[in-house]
Amino acid sequence: MRLVDSHCHLDDKQFNEDREAVVERALESGVAAMLAVGTGDGPPDLEAGVRLAERFDCMSASAGVHPHDAAKADRETFRELSDLLAHPKVAAVGEIGLDYHYDFSPRERQREVFIEQLRIAGDARKPVIINTREAWADPIAILEEHWSVTGLGGIMHCFSGGPDEARLTVDMGFHVSFSGLITFPKAAEVREAAKWVPSSRLLVETDCPYLAPVPYRGKRNEPAYTVETAKKLAELRGAPLEEIARVTTDNYERLCLPGANASE
């Protein structure tokens, strides 16, 4: 079995004491690859994911400005992001989007920074990783206006909607990434969405160190626990775990590592 954790924050200080051991546990569990999300602490440093991907062969990276940090972004931020996207281990732009839960950055600035990063990603021909929290209509409208025309698609990360939102996501050409959230007792709508999403659009992730799945809920999450989310997805869809591992890994590689499959 070979899985991919399509979204992890291994730069987080919670991993400072045992990062190498965490990566080793992931590999031993069957999680053969990880996408190190490179938002870090926000501008001016956009290289959190790149540093990890350069250190660990099993990792690729993303780069981008999280909506929480949108107020920190300036022209130099966008120039740096454009330059980083040429790095051979940077597979995507993200996580980017809108977060109306905390409003750490003004909503209008979040929208401006989101749109500019979509432009940069389109120019670089990179998929995008979308964060949306307590915001749905605005990011969908922005993606339809500024992104759909590229045909590049992306990842709706840590999907928290129901079947209707899943259909909108798929119709826009996006993959739907499920986290440990699908194991939570109150996440019935998310589980219904997980049953519906076409196999060709499924991904799994941890979003670690957050959202550890049952039976680890309440503990620090880590990439090895991707297996628990995959098991739940297999149960919900009535499919063998090996099939879920195969399709989610193939989907990730086609979207984020197209060069790896160029000869297939």
Separation of alpha carbons 31 and 227, rounded Å: 8
Of 49, 54, 92, the residue nearest 255 (C-alpha) = 92
Alpha helices per DSSP H over the chain: 19-29, 48-55, 75-84, 107-124, 137-146, 163-171, 188-196, 226-237, 241-256
Per-residue pLDDT tens for 138-186?
999 999 999 999 999 999 999 999 999 999 999 999 999 999 999 999 9
Span between the terminal Cα atoms of the chain, in Å = 20
When pLDDT is averaged across residues 25-34 and rounded to a whole number, the result is 98
What ranges do the domains of the chain cover? 3-258
Integer-rounded Cα radius of gyration of the chain: 17
Average pLDDT taken over every residue of the chain = 95
Superfamily of domain 3-258, CATH level 4: Metal-dependent hydrolases (3.20.20.140)
**pLDDT for the residue numbered 23:** 98
Q: What is the pLDDT of residues 79-114, one digit of tens each?
A: 999 999 999 999 999 999 999 988 899 999 999 999
**pLDDT per residue as tens digits for the range 182-202:** 999 999 999 999 999 999 999
56 touches 253 (CB < 8 A): no
pLDDT tens digit sequence for 115-128: 999 999 999 999 99
How would residue 263 be classed by pLDDT, with cut points 50, 70 and 90? very low
Q: How far is CA 99 from CA 5, 66, 103, 106, 222, in A?
A: 22, 9, 7, 10, 23
262 pLDDT band (50/70/90 cuts)? Answer: very low
- The share of the chain scoring above pLDDT 90, in percent, equals 94
pTM equals: 0.95
Query: Taking the alpha carbons of 196, 198, 199, 201 in that order, is the dihedral positive or negative?
Result: negative
| Three-state SS sequence of 79-97 | HHHHHHCCCCCEEEEEEEE
**Token output for 192:** 């219904």
> pLDDT value at position 135?
85
